[in-house]
Amino acid sequence: MYGKLFSYQIINEYNLTPHSVTKFPPAYLLFGTLPYSPPLTQNQFHPSVEEARKLAKQNTIKYHDKNKIKYDSRFIDSPFKTVDIVMYEEFNYPNRRKLSPVLSGPFEIVKKLSDVNYGITKPNALTKKPTEIAHASKLRTYYSPEELKPSQE
């Protein structure tokens, strides 16, 4: 009983609290009114619902654009090209043994299919084809054991 009452309070509080991105309570943007008079300071007011929706949309677009700039600044273009040798990150099944290898391979990239997808020489168990499509996030550059040896200077 108390759990239901508590969850209703949280939902109501969320709907009546100005959102950090839109700057307006979701209930006001949806219905155009609030079930209470908000405690506003002298110079604050809620514009008409039409104006509030326009401002909320502008605020959302600004927020999205700001996040896109942050994301793009961290995004690194995929370093892979055809004939590169890579390791493939296996899906981590919940019942998988902890000491099982996370990466399989090495495999060769046979085709760049898009900015993020590659055909690799890993046999596909489902389609029985000799290649599999792999997303760049699942690929790691392969280093041969000779490359990993410390230099003998």
Of 146, 135, 145, the C-alpha closest to 89 is: 135
CATH number, position 89: 2.30.30
- Whether residue 69 sits in one domain with residue 13: yes
Give the DSSP per-residue string, 14-55. Answer: HHHSPPTTTSS-HHHHHHS--SS-----TT-----HHHHHHH
Each residue of 18-59: pLDDT tens digit?
899 999 888 889 888 776 765 555 455 678 899 999 999 999
pTM here is 0.49
Domain residues for the domain of 66 are 1-37+47-73
Residues pairing with 140 in the sheet: 87
User: pLDDT tens, 131-147?
Assistant: 999 998 899 999 888 87
pLDDT for 112: 93
- DSSP string across 118-130: EEES---TTT--S
> From the DSSP assignment, how many helices (H) and strands (E) are in the chain?
4, 5
Inside any domain, residue 117:
yes
d(CA 8, CA 100): 45
Pair of tokens at residue 23: 């700057």
For residue 79, is it within any domain?
A: no
Domain count, the chain: 2
Residue 28 confidence (pLDDT): 87
